[in-house]
Amino acid sequence: MSEVILQNAVLVLPGEVIRGSLQMKDGRIADISEGASHVAGAVECDGDLVMPGLIELHTDNLERHIEPRPRVNWPHQAAIIAHDAELASVGITTVFDALRVGSVTSNAKANYGEYARALADEILDLRARGALRISHFLHLRAEVCSETLVDEMAKFGPDDRIGIVSLMDHTPGERQFRDVSKLKDYVCGKHGMSDDEFDAHVSGQRALRDRLGALHEATAVAESRRYGATLASHDDTTAPQVAVSSGHGVTFAEFPTTVEAAIACRQHGIKVMMGAPNLIRGGSHSGNVAASELAEADLLDIVSSDYVPSSLLSAALLLGDLWGDVARGVACVTQAPALATGLRDRGQLVPGARADVLRVARMGAAAAVRGTWVQGKRVA
């Protein structure tokens, strides 16, 4: 592979920011040097930020490409390739594509069926054929309030690049939707339910959780170990829920909904991940705790773009401004997610690391990606 030098940049290194140059060679970071440079053929950065490629642990973005409008099913290969290209364009170089496992087929109005195994095969096939620009892993979202979780998880194994299994519980009145009126707005808007249909939906989901929830939770924990995946919790709300997560071996918490839960995570050594859209919008669309409140209380470790890929970079810079520490803000979307999922070869600008590198021009509160490199190859 050819050598690439990014010179006269503001380099975001672990714990510090310096002015200098970075050399990529044979897919790795070969050298980092401080001071001005005038190497012929180098990429002149003119003071732009150069940082590690962003690492996304939880994104629903692929769903938007597969179903661009309600009930429009787009060809999956085209959707996956477009999703991959979009992530590269906003500086994401490693992604854990979130796929739901666990379906409900008995409720005709809110029916959602199995899809994860087939879609995972398509992602992995495109990756094997070299059709994707960035590094893809799988994130299985294990829905305990479902009917088919055991059978669906049995179809995956250690060779499927499953990096994360998250314990999802969308039982009405619990966790993200403790406020059932918020759930009603969401479900009725999405599925067109009447009041009576919504009431029946709530009763049915609660009964399903009572009947199968414990089995499904135990299955998801066991299967995550079989895959060799990191285990995450989702929407923890209370300290007792966090204690249960800790007992299962959870190492990071996706979107805890209260300060109480975030404090409990810190006490149990569980990293806290919040959504970049929450941070940028100034609050949660579900009425839960604001990411900025956790950041100001030093209770935020990792950021996910969730449903807006471009928000990941913006959130990192926003946090850098909030904390007065650009390196710390950037670490929330690079080093911290890498370490949380056992990826020791990326997430930092250090010699020997994968040359997953991003060049960024700051424009006030906004930023523009001027180059994305994956293993030293420019992909956007």
Coil/strand/helix, residue 12: strand
pTM: 0.92
CATH of the domain at 2: 2.30.40.10
Question: Per residue in 97-108, pLDDT tens?
Answer: 999 999 988 765
* 104 and 46 inside one domain: no
Tokens 């940082």: give the residue.
51
Q: Where are the beta strands (DSSP E) in the chain?
A: 4-13, 16-25, 28-34, 43-44, 49-52, 54-59, 92-101, 135-143, 162-168, 230-234, 252-254, 271-275, 302-304, 357-363, 366-374, 377-378
What are the C-alpha distances in Å from 276 to residues 80, 94, 174, 307, 309?
Answer: 22, 17, 23, 9, 9
* 120 and 27 inside one domain: no
**C-beta neighbour count of 107 within 10 angstroms:** 16
* 215 and 92 inside one domain: yes
* 202 and 190 inside one domain: yes
Please count the CA atoms within 13 angstroms of the CA of 272 that sit on its side-chain side: 29
* 37 and 86 inside one domain: no
Question: Per residue in 145-196, pLDDT tens?
Answer: 889 999 999 999 999 999 999 999 866 656 666 666 666 565 665 566 677 7
* 175 and 114 inside one domain: yes
Phi-psi region of 41 (alpha: psi -120 to 50; beta: other; left: phi over 0): left
Q: What percent of the chain has pLDDT over 90?
A: 80
Enclosing domain of residue 240: 54-345
* 4 and 66 inside one domain: no
Task: Mention every residue, 6+ apart, whose C-beta is less than 8 A from residue 303.
Answer: 273, 274, 275, 276, 279, 291, 312, 315, 316, 319, 332, 333
CATH of the domain at 191: 3.20.20.140
> What is the average pLDDT value for the chain, to the nearest integer?
92
* 160 and 276 inside one domain: yes
Question: Per residue in 282-311, pLDDT tens?
Answer: 988 777 899 999 999 999 999 999 999 999
* 137 and 199 inside one domain: yes
Query: Could you list the mean pLDDT of each consecutive 10-residue stretch along the chain, which spans 380 residues?
Result: 91 98 98 95 97 97 93 95 98 98 76 90 98 98 93 98 93 63 60 68 73 91 98 95 97 96 98 97 85 97 97 97 98 98 98 98 91 98
* 104 and 228 inside one domain: yes
- Cα–Cα distance between 303 and 293 in angstroms, integer? 14
- Cα–Cα distance between 300 and 332 in angstroms, integer? 8
Could you give the number of structural domains in the chain?
Answer: 2
* 372 and 316 inside one domain: no
* 251 and 219 inside one domain: yes
